[in-house]
Amino acid sequence: MPRSPRESRGRMHRMASEQLDRPEHPIFFLLLRLAGVLAAIAGLTAALSGRGLNHTTVALSFLLVVLFTAAAWGLRESVVASLVAMICFNVFFLPPVGTVTIADPQNWLALFVFLVTSLVASKLSDAARTRALESEKRRRETERLYSLSRMILMSAGDLAQTAGDVAFRIRQVFDFQGVTLFESSLVKYFSAGEELAPTSLETLAEVALRGGLVRDSQ
């Protein structure tokens, strides 16, 4: 059945919000973050070169960049930062400076320890970041479930006016591709996301009117 102008505007607004929340061009943003990592390490290398700093200070400075990268963006970017930082540490600070050759065997150990430390720290920082994001996601889902329950309770006896929002919130909470509700008293459908095919809408109406459960075999 045709939707009212108010429902159409609400649906268009929700679709626009979903488009804004959906990440586009992930490869482009990954390359942009990697470029930022390279720029940060290059700037740090230029700032530390020629100052006569000891190797420990230089290594810790690079490690800070790696940790910040892992905390802000994730494991892939921090691994790249670790490898680039190791190369810069070797070429610009370990003698002979300006080459990839390492004269002192002890510096091989220092370089290896730096790489392992940066990779392990990146993994731990990324794991903490992932747990924080998952915790935030669960918190938002709990809030949505509470909001959905409250909306349904408050709309008792007047569900037709809020059925569109209820369908949208169900889709949000459970991450469905589409949700369709059928109001039997008005013989009207309320959808969020992908809409059902006409045959599926007829099945939904039939089940709503006679009760029962139907599983889609597709």
Residue type, 56: T
Tokens at residue 114, please? Answer: 């730096």
pLDDT at position 77 is 87
Q: How far apart are CA 93 and CA 41, in angstroms?
A: 13
CA neighbours closer than 13 Å in the CB half-sphere of residue 30: 10
- Residue 43's pLDDT is 92
pLDDT at 210: 67
pTM: 0.55
The confidence score (pLDDT) of residue 198 equals 64
User: In the prediction, which pLDDT does 84 show?
Assistant: 92
* C-alpha to C-alpha distance for 89 and 83, rounded to whole angstroms: 10
Is residue 75 within a helix (H) or strand (E), and if so which, with residue range?
helix 75-93
Instruction: Give the chain's residues under pLDDT 70.
Output: 1-25, 154-162, 184-187, 196-199, 208, 210-218
User: Which whole-number Å values give the CA distances from 43 to 20, 64, 141, in the listed order?
Assistant: 33, 13, 41
Q: pLDDT of 159-199, one tens digit each?
A: 556 677 777 777 777 777 888 777 766 667 777 777 766 66
Domain ranges of the chain: 21-136, 155-210
